[in-house]
Amino acid sequence: MSPRKKTTSSRSSRAAEQRPIVIAGISGNFGRLLARRLHSDVPLVGIDKRPFKGKPKDVVHYQVDARRRRAENIFRHHRVRALVHLGLVHRPQPGRPLYREMNVAGTIKLLEYCRRHGVPKVVLVSTAAVYGPGPTHSNFLTEDTPLAGVADYPELQALIEWDMYAQSFFWKHPQIETVILRPAHVVGPHVRNAPTNYLRLQHPLTLLGFDPMIQLVHEEDLIQSILLALEPGIRGIFNIDGPGEVPLSAVLKELGRRPVPVLQPLAKALVRRLWNMGIGKFPPGELVHLQFQCMVDGSLARRVLGYRPRYTLRQTIRSVL
């Protein structure tokens, strides 16, 4: 038995466990992983417009848009114990506005259903990128840092909007235990997001003369933090940091990559051109992560949730291989 199983079954009562957990965004790479880890312990209900490939038999999946009436029926028919919303988008793609995928409107609806049908717990997985990398930032940003984002990255703006809406929901509805998780760059064998796509390149582009410190969170450690957030009594905003901090160059060296250093203005123009042409996989707004650091202070999660990364720094880095 994994230790993860013990934490879920020992603290919450048997009756509560029969009530399902709804996972919004279950068909994504991370959503499917989370479902596979959880389905044998708790009844799971998935909401996602996309089909769920390789769905475990005991997971109930509704392939609906959260804004449709059918979505509310899910909350009406199941006595939902918690909503886990995987807000973090793993694969920003050229030509597809992120806000559509983010579905801020859909989230507003889902939270409204939770309020109407007395769901006691909501866990929203945001990202530390909402703070935005910047030269004036403190090295370890705390949860009360303003969400500055990145100036010319409209896609991130939707995510910030989403995070802020979740915050206002947290303040407006004290009867619901709302948890917002803001993990640093999530990596792992199943994840396909901007950081992992970048780290999987044989010749990744770097910015000449810049080598920011970065934090990485293993996908399994993020799952651990979600499980801890589901515990009764936990509410609030938590940064989730990784097992340590390393320069980007050390990560690339560990992975055996051969970085191609490019002058920053040149790199910016190049990446934007490629992205607009639909060839580049790397969103130009992410480039600033190669220039400035965007690290979080994870001490609150360690203190309140009892979160401890189980993967070492080296294991976490190598997980993208």
Residues at the site binding other proteins, with contacts judged by CB under 8 A? 135-142, 207-213, 244-247, 250, 254, 264, 291-293, 297, 312-314
Nearest-5° Cα angle at 129, 170 to 115: 20
CA angle 291, 292, 296 (to 5 degrees): 145
Least distance in Å: CB of 208 to other proteins? 6
Smallest separation (angstroms) from other proteins to the CB of 215: 9
Contact 276, 206 (CB under 8 A): no
| Least distance between other proteins and beta carbon 18 (Å) | 43
With respect to other proteins, which residue has the nearer C-beta, 114 or 288?
288
Residue 300: which region, alpha, beta or left (left: phi > 0; alpha: psi -120 to 50)? alpha
Exposed e or buried b per residue across 262-290, where buried means at least 16 C-beta atoms within 10 angstroms of its C-beta: bebeebbebbbeebeeeebbbbbbbbbbb
CB of 315 to other proteins, least distance (A): 11
227 vs 251, which CB is nearer to other proteins? 251
- Beta strands, E only, the chain: 21-24, 44-47, 59-62, 82-85, 121-125, 177-183, 185-187, 205-207, 213-218, 236-240, 245-247, 260-262
Number of H helices, E strands in the chain: 13, 12
Shortest distance in whole angstroms from residue 175 CB to other proteins = 32
Contact of 278 with 95, CB cutoff 8 Å: yes
Task: Identify which of residues 176 and 295 has a Cβ nearer to other proteins in the complex.
Answer: 295
Question: Which residue type, as a one-letter code, is found at position 241?
Answer: D
**Between 28 and 133, CB nearer to other proteins:** 133
Q: Could you give the 3-state DSSP secondary structure of residue 42?
A: coil
Nearer to other proteins, 99 or 140 (CB): 140
Minimum Å gap between C-beta 69 and other proteins is 47
> Is the Cβ of residue 40 or residue 138 nearer to other proteins in the bound state?
138
Q: How far from chain centre, in Å, is Cα 34?
A: 12
In the complex, minimum distance from the CB of residue 138 to other proteins, in angstroms, rounded to a whole number = 4
Secondary structure letter of residue 282 according to DSSP: S
Measured from the CB atom, is 115 or 137 closer to other proteins? 137
